[in-house]
């Protein structure tokens, strides 16, 4: 699983996930958390059907899909309608039905004080996810 928000940092994480997938023959699930929903949705973290993706999410996933096709890596795009990225992404990753073996996330390392080295979302995922987490700076 690679966490995608469209930033340069998440795209660096995507590049690392591509390297891992090539080495292991794995598929990649790209997950974007659309945090413009209500607090209630953070509890449910529903997966949105593609027709309900907002423009930003659609642009991110289309860019990533092209990169996956170029690299010949199986890819599944998921957009979660939630409220807090860390909770949304961790809830998805920890769901056994999603079969997540590894999580890759880019980080800016801009928070304070605990997030001095990792961003708050990546720090949350690092501590709450059941699967191994690779943080790419």
Helices 8-24 and 55-71: crossing angle in degrees, nearest 10, is: 30
DSSP track, 42-107: HHH-PBPPGGG--HHHHHHHHHHHHHHHHHT--EEEEEEE-S-HHHHHHHHHH-GGG----EEEE-
8 pLDDT above the threshold of 70: yes
Q: How many CB atoms lie within 10 A of CB 37?
A: 18
For 61-119, write each residue's pLDDT tens digit: 999 999 999 999 999 999 998 878 999 999 999 999 999 999 999 987 555 554 455 55
For 12-46, write each residue's pLDDT tens digit: 999 999 999 999 999 999 999 998 865 554 455 68
User: pTM to 2 decimals?
Assistant: 0.88
Element at 122 (helix H, strand E): helix 120-128
Check residue 84 and give its pLDDT.
Answer: 86
């Amino acid at each position: 699983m690679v966490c995608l928000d469209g930033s340069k940092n998440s795209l660096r994480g995507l590049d690392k996930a591509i390297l891992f997938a090539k080495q292991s023959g794995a598929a990649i699930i790209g997950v974007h958390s659309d945090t413009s929903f209500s607090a209630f949705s953070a509890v449910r973290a529903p997966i949105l059907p593609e027709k309900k993706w907002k423009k930003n999410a659609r642009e991110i996933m289309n860019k990533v899909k092209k990169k996956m096709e170029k690299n010949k890596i199986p890819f599944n795009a998921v957009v979660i309608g939630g409220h807090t990225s860390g909770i949304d992404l961790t809830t998805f990753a920890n769901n056994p039905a999603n079969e997540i073996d590894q999580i890759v996330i880019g980080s800016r390392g801009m928070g304070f004080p605990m997030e001095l080295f990792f961003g708050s979302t990546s720090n949350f995922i690092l501590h709450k996810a059941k699967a191994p987490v690779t943080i790419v700076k």
